Amino acid sequence: MLFLVTNDDGYLAPGLRSLSGALEELGEVVVVAPDREQSATSHSLTLHHPLRVRQTADNRYHVDGTPTDCVMLAVNAILERRPDYVFSGINHGGNMGEDVSYSGTVSAAMEATLLGIPSVAVSLVHANEEWLEGYEHVVRRLARMIVEEPRQTLFPADTLLNVNLPDRHPDTIEGVRITTLGKRVYSDPVLTDKDPRGKTYYWIGGGEPTWEGPEEADYRAVERGYISITPVHLDLTNHRVIPHLKKWESFALQGGA
């Protein structure tokens, strides 16, 4: 079994080493990761300049591009065969709720999903690097459970798994919860201040967030000490609205205003 491993924290990140170590007992692992931190790059693809790939060891590569670039290059240029699974992470910080839209970690898994490869994004909420080594055996057990299931059951078309590990020592985890995406609300998402020259600048990402969501939301699970696993679907269509819009199909584009 061949695993492609990537991340958005860069090829030197401790979380990447922990994820690779967790998978090495299950099959061959090839790492193709960014050469620097690419957090919050979302699903961006580099189109306006060439990319460079450097091999640092056997089955270890880094790319001067985004996590999406890494998956694209790995599948179409670096690997001799398509991977059986793509694992992205372990991200240094959680990826819950709307984070999945901004996260480079999740977007790497999205790219693999678009390429038809089963993919999993793994994040550690409020990452404590001292715990990452201990999480290897937890992630290994999860990965073993994943690969033992029929792929079409866990990964129907356009579906990936988004895993968030709770902010606690791995020996104190309560268990696993299957969750939905929560919603994060910022009281003051943009900070405004003056630089030393008196010019105004803006810093996105300020303020304290609060969370909203149903009982089965991802953030509730990790707050209670559980591993959150959310199946994420890439179809953004709101199918409930389509019947209300169907009448527009008879709208006459020609004629009077």
Specify the amino acid at residue 184.
R
**CATH number, domain containing residue 97:** 3.40.1210.10
Domains: count for the chain: 2
Q: Decide: 231 and 159 in contact? Cβ < 8 Å.
A: yes
- Domain identity same for 91 and 188: no
Closest CA to 87 of 116, 57, 117, 127: 117
- Domain identity same for 23 and 145: yes
DSSP classification of residue 160: E
Say what the pLDDT of residue 131 is: 84
Residue 155 within a domain: yes
Residue 96 within a domain: yes
- Domain identity same for 138 and 224: yes
Residue 38 within a domain: yes
- Domain identity same for 120 and 189: no
Residue 240 within a domain: yes
- Domain identity same for 198 and 239: no
Between the alpha carbon of residue 247 and those of residues 21, 23, 132, 236, 240, the distances in Å are 55, 52, 54, 21, 14
- Domain identity same for 87 and 152: yes
Three-class DSSP category at 30:
strand
Residue 85 within a domain: yes
- The β-bridge partners of 209 are 186
Between the alpha carbon of residue 245 and those of residues 110, 140, 241, the distances in Å are 29, 47, 7
pTM of the full predicted structure? 0.91
Residue 235 within a domain: yes
- Domain identity same for 110 and 187: no
| Runs of H (alpha helix) within the chain | 14-23, 67-73, 99-102, 104-114, 129-148, 151-154, 218-223, 242-245
Say what the pLDDT of residue 253 is: 65
- Domain identity same for 70 and 157: yes
- Domain identity same for 31 and 78: yes
Between the alpha carbon of residue 163 and those of residues 10, 202, 227, the distances in Å are 19, 32, 7
Per-residue pLDDT of the chain (257 residues; tens, 9 = 90+): 999 999 999 999 999 999 999 999 999 999 999 998 877 777 878 888 999 999 998 999 999 999 999 999 999 999 999 999 999 999 999 999 988 999 999 999 999 999 999 999 999 998 677 888 889 999 999 999 999 999 999 999 999 999 999 999 999 999 999 999 999 877 777 888 999 999 999 888 766 778 899 999 999 999 999 999 999 999 999 999 999 998 888 775 655 55
Give the domain range for residue 104: 2-181+217-250
Please give the distance of CA 36 from its chain centroid, rounded to a whole number.
Answer: 17
Residue 160 within a domain: yes
- Domain identity same for 135 and 76: yes
Residues near 189 by beta carbon (within 8 Å), at least 6 away in sequence = 204, 205, 206, 207
Residue 256 within a domain: no
- Domain identity same for 40 and 112: yes
- Domain identity same for 242 and 190: no
